[in-house]
């Protein structure tokens, strides 16, 4: 793998964020996490020269796990901003949301998210969604050799 990956998670529900983080850790994903409670906070972090640490490692890469329904700036607006050139243009984004509205799914896919994972409150479906999320993350952070 070229460079270290840091997972950025934007979710306004700290309980959901903790469950997701625990599920990813239990699946063996040990990348560092940075947590943001709303869309504006993640945009502030991603703004060129503004929110990032003063001297991030040159080879650090980010993968954004993005909720849709958030205060200040929702996930779809975050995706739109990223695709307009705000922040890193090659930032991979996986949407993980409680909403399964086909219009939201279509909007996110049109805006270039890699995957749209519905997080269910039902335990069995939640585990299935976490397995799908883990597989999606691994496809990004552990690419196969050509």
In this prediction, residue 22 carries a pLDDT of: 93
Architecture of domain 5-99+106-139: 3-Layer(aba) Sandwich (3.40)
Q: Tens-of-pLDDT digits for all 146 residues of the chain?
A: 346 889 999 999 999 899 999 999 999 998 999 999 999 999 988 876 655 554 344 567 899 999 999 989 999 999 999 888 776 767 899 999 988 899 999 999 999 999 999 988 788 888 899 999 999 999 998 876 65
C-alpha–C-alpha distance, residues 137 and 125, integer Å: 18
Going from N- to C-terminal start, the domains of the chain cover 5-99+106-139
Nearest to 76 by CA among 33, 109, 36, 37: 109
Answering whether pTM is above 0.85, one says: yes
**Beta carbons within 10 angstroms of residue 80's beta carbon:** 14
Phi-psi region for residue 21, left (φ > 0), alpha (ψ -120 to 50) or beta?
alpha
From residue 15, how far is each of 32, 65, 126, 138 by CA, in Å? 18, 15, 14, 23
């Amino acid at each position: 793998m070229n460079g270290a990956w840091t997972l950025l998670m934007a979710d306004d529900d700290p309980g959901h964020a903790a469950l997701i983080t625990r599920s990813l850790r239990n699946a063996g994903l040990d990348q560092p996490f940075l947590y943001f409670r709303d869309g504006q906070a993640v945009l502030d972090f991603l703004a060129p020269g503004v929110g990032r640490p003063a001297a991030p490692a040159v080879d650090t890469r980010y993968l954004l796990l993005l909720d849709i329904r958030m205060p200040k700036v929702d996930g779809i607006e975050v995706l739109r901003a990223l695709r307009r050139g705000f922040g890193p243009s090659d930032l991979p984004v996986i949407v993980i949301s409680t909403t399964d509205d086909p219009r939201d799914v279509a909007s996110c896919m049109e805006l270039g998210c890699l995957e749209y994972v519905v997080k269910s409150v039902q335990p069995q479906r939640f585990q299935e969604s976490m397995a799908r999320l883990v597989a999606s993350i691994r496809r990004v952070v552990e690419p196969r050799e050509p």
